[in-house]
Amino acid sequence: MKIRDNLMEKNIWFFLAVFVFLCGCAATGVKQSERFPRASIVKDEQAIATQQDAYEDFKAAAELIIPVDMTLKYPIMEVLNKGWTKENKELEKLLSDNGPAFKEFQEGLEKKRFTLPAVNTIEERRKRLFIIGRWSELARLLNLGVQSQIYKNDYTGAVQSCFNIIRFGQMVEAGGNSLLKRIGMSIESNGYKNFRNMVFLQPKRMNYPHLLENIRFLQEGIDVKEHFGQILKKEFFDIKFGVSPLLLEDMAWQEFLESYLESGYVKEDVEQSVRVCYMDAIQYISLSYNEGLTKWILEREPQNPARQVFLPILKNMYIECGRLETERDATFIIIGLEYYYDKNKAYPAKLSELVPDYLPLLPNDPFSEEPFVYQRRGKGWIIYSIGSDLKDGFAQQNSYLSPDSSGDIIFFKE
């Protein structure tokens, strides 16, 4: 009887939370019918057809461009790690054969709004993950193309390829679920890294105003944090007991279900509890990073066991959003620094000297909401963000190399 009363109390609190959440959705223009059908997220049948066409384009591109047997995967990884050499004849043919196909695929995607439909069964989920995995391989091929162009001293082509990678990542990000968001952000981030390397390798050959214009355009493309919140609102309605959310692996999902049910909960509790985690994440995402991250704290023994599984994953994605914003803004500043050096043969004493002659504005560190930390070092410089631990570590530890993401996000030129 006591268990039943506790369950009833949990259900009451959950439905109250859902009611508040739906009111918020209505205020922001997210309209749902009483039974929350997934199709109601899309405005009409034509929009659904367009999305399905885009999905088929992605699937076809994956099958066409990526080698089915992936026997070239090892040499591809060798090139990405060590650079291109004259021995890479097979890879040269691979890029040559598939270059026109990828260009056609990307031009077609530019005209469509791609949204991955909700997953209804385990089999659908597995097929979807297979295709998404192929897109990750496709991103490797794009990076391979940059290495090939650098080897041939085709720096103009390599810069354009970097922009293509960034744009491709943004299109994947817009794909309508949290897993695509994560993969897209990783691809876009890789494009910025390639691009910064290009600026460092050949600063005298760069058309800086043109580069600034392109990066500025890409900066204004997707608000990664706001878009992540929109994705979670969609996934909130698609949570099902028998199908793992795309952001969690099948094995981890099964282990979670078993431990949850062994604790005395029932099937309905699982869906409700996971939705509550999503609702909390949506609230935190609306805050600035330095405020949202302080809210994102897990209790040692939470009443809702789902929090221990899902909130860390959602928090990591939130941190990745901040990192990507940091990558974009730092790349923008770095172009301004190289533009300044090209004109003055020395780097500025302060970043503020870049505005307005070398940069139209100076973006702040997304995590601190204050200017990036900048110092001249020797003949070069160092820029860093305080990172997701919200502490100024004085560039002593790189957040990307830290197992717990602590430390600063560091960019430098020696």
Check residue 65 and give its pLDDT.
55
User: Are residue 225 and residue 336 in the same domain, yes or no?
Assistant: no
* The pLDDT of residue 44 is above 70: no
User: Does residue 381 lie in a domain region?
Assistant: yes
User: Does residue 253 lie in a domain region?
Assistant: no
Q: What domain count does the chain have?
A: 2
The residue-averaged pLDDT of 146-175 equals 84
User: Does residue 14 lie in a domain region?
Assistant: no
User: Does residue 302 lie in a domain region?
Assistant: no
Check residue 58 and give its pLDDT.
61
Listed as own residue / partner, the contacts of 404-409 with beta carbons closer than 8 Å and 24 or more positions apart are 405/316, 405/319, 408/373, 408/384, 409/323, 409/326, 409/330, 409/384, 409/385
User: Does residue 368 lie in a domain region?
Assistant: yes
Check residue 351 and give its pLDDT.
96
User: Does residue 298 lie in a domain region?
Assistant: no
Return the minimum-mean-pLDDT range out of 4-8, 96-100, 280-284: 4-8
> Would you place residue 64 in the very low, low, confident or very high pLDDT band (cuts 50, 70, 90)?
low
Domain end residue (candidates: 199, 229, 259): 229
Check residue 168 and give its pLDDT.
82
User: Does residue 56 lie in a domain region?
Assistant: yes
* Residue 44 or residue 198, greater confidence: 198
CA 65 to chain centre: 23
- Residues 6 or more apart whose Cβ sits within 8 Å of residue 182: 247, 317, 320
Which has the closest alpha carbon to 178: 43, 276, 53, 313?
313
* The pLDDT of residue 403 is above 50: yes
The residue-averaged pLDDT of 372-400 equals 93
Domain end residue (candidates: 195, 229, 263): 229
- Residues 6 or more apart whose Cβ sits within 8 Å of residue 285: 225, 226, 228, 229, 232, 292, 318
- Supply the mean pLDDT for the chain: 77
User: Are residue 189 and residue 65 in the same domain, yes or no?
Assistant: yes
Helix (H) or strand (E) segment spanning residue 376: strand 373-377
pLDDT tens for residues 161-180?
A: 888 888 888 888 877 678 88
Check residue 236 and give its pLDDT.
84
Task: State which residues form the domain around 89.
Answer: 51-229
Flag whether the pTM goes above 0.85: no
Outline where 152-177 has alpha helix (H): 155-173
Domain end residue (candidates: 160, 194, 229): 229
User: Are residue 79 and residue 204 in the same domain, yes or no?
Assistant: yes
Strands ordered across the beta sheet of 373-377: 373-377, 380-385, 409-413
> Domain containing 349 — which CATH number?
3.30.700
pLDDT tens for residues 211-230?
A: 888 888 877 777 888 888 88
* The pLDDT of residue 373 is above 90: yes
User: Are residue 222 and residue 324 in the same domain, yes or no?
Assistant: no
- Residues 6 or more apart whose Cβ sits within 8 Å of residue 392: 373, 386, 408
> Would you place residue 51 in the very low, low, confident or very high pLDDT band (cuts 50, 70, 90)?
low
% the chain with pLDDT above 90 = 19
User: Does residue 152 lie in a domain region?
Assistant: yes
Outline where 28-112 has alpha helix (H): 45-65, 73-82, 89-110
User: Are residue 209 and residue 346 in the same domain, yes or no?
Assistant: no
Sign of CA dihedral 240, 245, 246, 251: negative
- Residues 6 or more apart whose Cβ sits within 8 Å of residue 35: none
> Would you place residue 310 in the very low, low, confident or very high pLDDT band (cuts 50, 70, 90)?
confident
